[in-house]
Amino acid sequence: MTVRQFKIHTDLDSESDEVIDVTNGLIRFYEPSNLGMSVSNNIWQSDGIGVKGYSETNQPSISFKLITLANTRSDNYALIRDFIQKIISFEFVTLEYTTDIFTVYADVAISEQTKTEGYGRNGQFEETIAFDCITKWYTYEKLEFGSVSNGSVVEGLSKIYSGTDMGYHYSSKPEYTYFGETNVDRLNRGEFTSNTFGITAKLIPTLSTGVDNGGSFGISFANQDFNEYTAIVFTMSKTPNYIQLNTDVNDEYYLADFDGSGTGVNVFTSLDFQRYRSRLFQKGAVSLINCDSVEINIKRKVDFI
């Protein structure tokens, strides 16, 4: 059985994310408290007879015991000092919690760090650290898919479905193709689950083969009735190399790279706000709009673990 693992992410949604192992490293968290939840119930009573109103789920602060395991007093002091200074330099960090049966995440902000004196021959610190919860808990799942287009028939090698004589043509080296699909774009989609409250995505727009006059690029979200309820679409005069976005209100951005430098330009004003109607995503499907591929990280809420 694997011992539960805790890690701190300095910026989970970013490629520059730094992961700090606080289970096996020189700073270790143990004896966590308040990993669960609390519920506030509104109840009206008269003469012992009650009526239940609405309920509100609350996520209490999380606290841990913290110990430093460096070899000297000065190293232990520097260890806890540098760790806390790094944590407080961010608006919030993300706590990763892993067991044998799940991995979940919580966006948290440090609320307390006790400080006593180092003890023992090595001057270790044994303290308490606490975090206020911003969003607790959620899963972080990856979805990747690309566009599908009609193929071409290679004489003598392709296996195709003939719309004229309702027959198959075989070869010793069959190649399967969507040649002949009248609505091949219906295959350019991925499935979305419920309870999704935020996503990050990297889109690769389809490059123009002629003069680049830009266009509209993005992703569309349809519910289970196949109706679009929101879409993240950018209208641009030039086709970017890629578009990166984050819909989380605590870390929202919409960036595009046009010159290959990797430096994103803010393209928030290029959004089609008439179609971007919701940040809460329903169960259904997501499809590409003039893009070759997309990588999506999906944040799905979990109230209790």
Q: What is the mean pLDDT of residues 216-229?
A: 94
pTM summary value: 0.80
Average pLDDT, the chain: 86
pLDDT class for 290, splitting at 50, 70, 90? very high
Which pLDDT belongs to residue 252?
A: 93
pLDDT class for 150, splitting at 50, 70, 90? low
CA distance 73 to 184: 66
CA distance 258 to 200: 19
Across 101-110, 166-175, 198-207, 237-246, least confident range: 166-175
**pLDDT above 80: residue 159:** no
**pLDDT above 90: residue 212:** no
Q: Torsion angle, CA of 105/109/110/112, rounded to 10 degrees? A: -110
Q: List the chain domain ranges.
A: 5-139, 150-185, 188-301
CA distance 292 to 87: 38
Q: What are the start-end ranges of the E strands in 118-237?
A: 126-146, 158-161, 168-169, 175-176, 189-192, 196-205, 215-223, 228-236
**pLDDT above 80: residue 256:** yes
pLDDT class for 162, splitting at 50, 70, 90? very low
CA distance 71 to 122: 6
The fold adopted by the segment(s) 5-139 is Elongation Factor Tu (Ef-tu); domain 3 (2.40.30)
CA distance 146 to 292: 6
Q: Contact, 109 vs 132, CB < 8 A?
A: yes
The fold adopted by the segment(s) 188-301 is Jelly Rolls (2.60.120)
